[in-house]
Structure 1
Amino acid sequence: MVKIAEKAGLPCYLKPEQLCWYRDKSACRELLSKLRLPTPGFVKVPAAEQNEYKLAEITAGLKYPLISKPLDKYGSRGIFIIKDQEQLAGSVRKTAEFTDLNEILIEEYNNGFEFNMMTWVSDGAVRVISIADREKTQFAEGKLPESTRNVYPSCLIDKVEEPAVSLLQSYIEYTGQKEGPLSMQFFWKAGEGIQVCEIAARFFGYEHELTDMVYRFNMEELLLNYVYDNEYVTKMLEAQDIRKPLMHGAVLYFHGRLKQIQEQQAAYELAEDKAVVKPWIFYEAGEEVVAYGPNPYLALYYIEAGSREELDEITRDFFEKMSMTDPDGEEIVFQNKIPKYSL
């Protein structure tokens, strides 16, 4: 889009020369390090490298556990947890199968709480639209935990908002972004502060509905008025208070085994629950669950409630009742979990 706008002479919030800092994971990490902003330690490794001693030498400055990830893929594709040096070469080999580049990324693994933050840059200043808890569940040893619930607003806003805004402000002062969408995934641990996972000049998929549900802050309205009525955008941003939700909301993601779906009555019954704002069941009975196919999940549900406590109770009920089975009656759906927030 940015490159097309440049060639067509159309106004756009970014220039092509700025894209690398938002699209290239390696360039983002290098800039964060240059600016001394908190991010996990990392190195780039030749994708074809299998010499254990050479890999140990390259990663000597990193602290285990680590993760291996492709530089040209998004989501959890090709990402593996490396608990110790014995797993290093095997994880590099597995990640290399997912990339079209000559290098992959090895970085320190942060197992702290994770967050999704969406903001809008206005006149060079970062304005917060939302901060959500990005909750994950690990379904298999050595595999990266999968996103299973994003909750609006975060229950840890008071601990993370100020340092997160300060970090993004420092980042865009270097990149030169003066306006437009800006999002960040980041981690936080008590006593250790925040670390950046990803910074992107866009909004998160499957989440713009939640700002509307929780705050009545409509992203489509924001984007249209950015083109046609910028003064109204200013009013929208000034009125947005992330500590004053009208409702508490979440999107629940369900993942599963690569089997044929025979029965999914429970999934359809949950879709009729009064807490559900919008259900999305991705497969029909008789279809095979495919890894990295056109369907990102088995199903997702947008739910809302009057309080975080009520939302958590509804979530537990959904996690317990959700079911899809194969022709042999075996369960397909992985069991989601809610993390403990005792600090």
Structure 2
Amino acid sequence: MNHRLLILGTLGEFVQLVQKAKQKGYYTIVCDGYPNGEARAYADASYILPVTDTDAIAELCKKEKVDGIITSFSDLLMECMVKIAAKADLPCYLKPEQLPWYRDKSVCRQTLRELGLPTPGYVKIPVSLSGEPDKIKQLVQNLSYPLISKPMDKYGSRGIYIIHDENELTEQIARSAEFTDLDEVLVEEYNDGFEFNMMTWVNDGKVNVISIADREKTQPEANMLPISTRNVYPSRFLSHVYEPAKDLLQSYIAHTGQMDGPLSMQFFWKPGKGIQVCEIAGRFFGYEHELTDMVYGFNIEELLLAGVYQKEKISEMFVGHDIFHPVKHGAVLYFHGKLHNIADQTKAYELAENEAVVKPWIFYETGDTVVEYGPNPYLALYYISAVSREKLDEITGYFFDEMSMTDSDGQEITYRNQMPDYFITEE
């Protein structure tokens, strides 16, 4: 049978997924609201529709006789896919009634608390209290500073702010409220421990770990939320966090009922204090899953396609997968910048030619203006690899020192990344 597959998403992240699907003989249809999405050039058919128009895309699925739907890398895409699948009567690893456990941060926190699983202390603050600081202070009185305010219905770190003390409380909550469509925002305790990204696959109700990475951040300016600047595979603390993180996810899906499909988690860990959940998602991390292929030879696109049409292949993929024995060490370096025009990217292109770079990704053309939220999440990123963690750190330091983009006035627009201080010894 010549399967007809709808891939929800057309940006560069989806190019390899479309290519692999076509190699398998599947008829590929891509769809989202970006008319210039790079993956459109590789698909058999292409439609321009907002992913949130789930009724229209469900009708498209019926019209095109689609028998499978797939997406990843974004919470919004995952949510829309689940709704489309239900409306178009297509198989999917989640049902709409399960979405709150993966999309509503307060539901996730409450579930973790009910299950006795570690998560930061939190409260929900009604947006209507934005002009009543005394009531807000009363609601957070049992939380320990610093705090984080965040919308419960957004993704991509939108509307998230640090609250250092009660003098900043009302202002930062009001800022988060500008990003939400809900009546409340979430305020939770800020964990300053080591941070991790974990990707797994649920197969017949069992969590299979694909990778755990160190998620490193830099605070580029005072009072600015730290930004993600490097994710490193494998984590140097893998032996400390593997079992408790896996067991936590197993307990979580036992409650949510997820039996198949991608499952990711961001979490913190401190020596002597254990792990603490940041977020749990029913998809893979964007602009990062490529690292599993580089470091382990484990291809996420193959796994996603197997989840739709070849479920018997999934167990075979994990038989030979050992996250404690990487083929090499790898990292993705993220470079963020100020919202200026870009006049000179010479250094960024020079770094792209470095022998350690497996794949460069420069998101803007010279002359473009950087925008805060849009199809380009960074100024640039580089996937790099090395034979050891030490060599990888050395290469990273060089990139962090050398990276530069300037505007038409010659001003630097790239935020300066910093290497973290891993201040404990590994056992």
Q: Choose the corresponding residue for 1:74, options 146, 152, 155.
A: 155
Aligned to 1:151: 232
Q: Tell whether 2:124 aligns with 1:27.
A: no
Structure 2: which 5+ runs fail to align?
1-80
Does the Cα contact within 8 Å between 1:186 and 1:196 map onto a contact in 2? Answer: yes
Task: Tell me the equivalent position of 1:186.
Answer: 267
8 Å contact kept, 2:151–2:159: yes
1:113-128 pair list within 5 angstroms: 113-128=194-209
Moved over 6 A (4+): none
Q: Residue deviations 1:198-246, cap 9 Å, x none? A: 1011111111211011101011111222333333210111211001111
Q: Is the 8 A contact 1:80 1:144 kept in 2?
A: yes
Q: Which runs of structure 2 are paired with 1:304-343 in the superposition (5 Å)? A: 304-343=385-424
- Report which structure shows greater RCO (CA 8 Å, sep ≥6): 1
CA distance in 2, matches of 1:211, 1:319: 23
TM score, norm. by length of structure 1: 0.97
Contact 1:64-1:84 within 8 A present in 2 as well:
yes
Candidates 250, 257, 276, aligned match of 1:195: 276
Which one of 103, 106, 121 corresponds to residue 41 of structure 1?
121
What secondary structure is seen at the aligned counterpart in 1 of 2:167? helix
CA deviation vs aligned residue, 1:81-130 (integer Å, no higher than 9, x gap): 11111110111111112222211110000111110000011121111000
Alignment-derived partner of residue 222 in structure 2: 141
Q: Could you tell me which residue of structure 1 aligns to residue 248 of structure 2? A: 167
Matched, 1:109 2:190: yes
1:143 and 1:192 map into 2 onto residues whose CA distance is 27
Residue range with higher mean Cα deviation, 218-227 or 171-180: 218-227
Q: Secondary structure at the match of 1:326?
A: coil
* Contact residue 25 and residue 71 of structure 1 kept, 8 A: yes
Aligned-residue offset at 1:7: 2.8
Moved more, 287-296 or 60-69: 287-296
Counterpart of 2:414, as a letter, is V
Structure 1: stretches of 5+ with no match in the other structure: none
Measured in 1, the distance between the counterparts of 2:91 and 2:368 equals 44
Name the count of aligned residue pairs: 343
**Are 1:212 and 2:322 counterparts?**
no
Q: State the distance in 2 between where 1:201 and 1:71 align.
A: 16
Aligned partner (choices 365, 379, 392) of residue 284 of structure 1: 365
Q: Deviations over 1:10-31 (max 9, x none)?
A: 2221122111101111111111
- Select 1:299's aligned residue among 356, 380, 398: 380
Partner Cα separation in structure 2 for residue 154 and residue 36 of structure 1: 26
Contact preservation (8 Å) 2:203, 2:314? no
Q: Which amino acid aligns with 1:3?
A: K
Q: For 1:128, what is the secondary structure of its paired residue?
A: strand
Q: Encode CA deviations 1:161-219: one digit per residue, 9 max, x unaligned.
A: 11101100110011111111111000111111111111011111111211011101011
Identity of aligned residues (%): 66
> What code does the residue aligned with 1:63 have?
S
Letter in 2 for 1:12: C
| Distance of 2:90 and 2:371 partners within structure 1 | 39
The correspondence for 1:4, drawn from 74, 84, 87, is 84
Cα distance, 1:142 vs structure 2: 2.3
Residues 151 and 250 in structure 1, CA contact (< 8 A), matched pair in contact too: yes
SS of structure 1 residue aligned to 2:168: helix
Q: Normalized against structure 2, the TM-score is what? A: 0.79
1:253 corresponds in structure 2 to 334
Q: CA RMSD in A?
A: 1.1
Does residue 275 in structure 1 map to residue 361 in structure 2? Answer: no
Range with greater deviation from structure 2 (280-289 or 269-278): 280-289
